[in-house]
């Protein structure tokens, strides 16, 4: 059972440091029959990560897409940017256990991958785990409900 509505496209975006990973993840997802909405970037030219993180976060926030994937060198910039959006819980993941816990305990809806610090096969595994792990709820639900500012 999947944790997200995979009838909707998966949002993906990156800056120049994440371009190769984005292309590989799109191929990985499409090979497994998932629909992907690519928010860029499309070249190796230096770009500003918020220009790509905001559209991905907006698409998840408005339920246009089922969940999001953001990639940059450290994943910090895209995570900080995405987390400015109400209802977004973007988690920096660098190993399988972190991806699983981001879903189980934090109900994260965007996975942020640090391309300079993980191998491509690790990124694929983390995305797969993130997609398939459902939020545990229970004691974690009240904590997640306290995240948004009122």
Task: Please count the residues of the chain.
Answer: 150
- 61 and 86 Cβ atoms separated by less than 8 Å: yes
Q: How far apart are CA 75 and CA 94, in angstroms?
A: 9
Whether the predicted pLDDT of 108 surpasses 90: yes
- Single out the residue of 122, 132, 117 nearest to residue 18, CA to CA: 117
DSSP lists the bridge partners of residue 72 as 114
Cα 85 to the center of its chain, rounded Å: 14
Structure confidence at residue 143 (pLDDT): 81
pLDDT range class, residue 150, cuts 50, 70, 90: low
- Burial bucket for residue 60 (CB in 10 Å: 0-12, 13-18, 19+): buried
- Check if 72 is active-site: yes
Classify residue 149 by its DSSP letter.
-
CA distance 122 to 141: 28
Active-site annotation holder among 14, 72, 93, 112: 72
pLDDT more than 90, % of the chain: 84
Mean pLDDT across 111-132: 97
Question: Can you give the pTM of this predicted structure?
Answer: 0.95
CATH numeric code, 10-145? 3.40.1400.10
**20-59 tens-digit pLDDT:** 999 999 999 999 999 999 999 999 999 999 999 999 999 9
Burial 32-52 (b: 16+ CB within 10 A, else e): eebebbbbbbeeeeebebbeb
Question: What average pLDDT does this structure show over 59-83?
Answer: 97
What is the end-to-end Cα distance of the chain in Å, rounded?
33
Each domain of the chain, given as residue ranges in start order, spans 10-145
Question: Would you state the pLDDT for residue 1?
Answer: 42
| Percent of the chain scoring above 70 in pLDDT | 98
């Amino acid at each position: 059972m999947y944790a997200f509505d995979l009838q909707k496209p998966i949002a993906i975006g990156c800056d120049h440091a994440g371009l190769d990973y984005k292309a590989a993840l799109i191929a990985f997802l499409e090979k497994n029959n998932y629909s992907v909405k690519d928010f860029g970037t499309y070249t190796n030219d230096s770009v500003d990560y918020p220009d790509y993180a905001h559209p991905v976060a907006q698409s998840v926030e408005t339920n246009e897409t089922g969940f999001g994937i953001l990639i940059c060198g450290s994943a910090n910039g895209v995570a900080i940017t995405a987390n400015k959006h109400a209802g977004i819980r973007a988690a920096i993941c660098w190993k399988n256990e972190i991806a699983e816990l981001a879903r189980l305990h934090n109900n994260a809806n965007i996975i942020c991958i640090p391309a300079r610090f993980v191998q491509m096969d690790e990124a694929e595994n983390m995305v797969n785990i993130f997609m398939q792990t459902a939020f545990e709820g229970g004691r974690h639900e009240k904590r997640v409900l306290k995240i948004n500012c009122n």
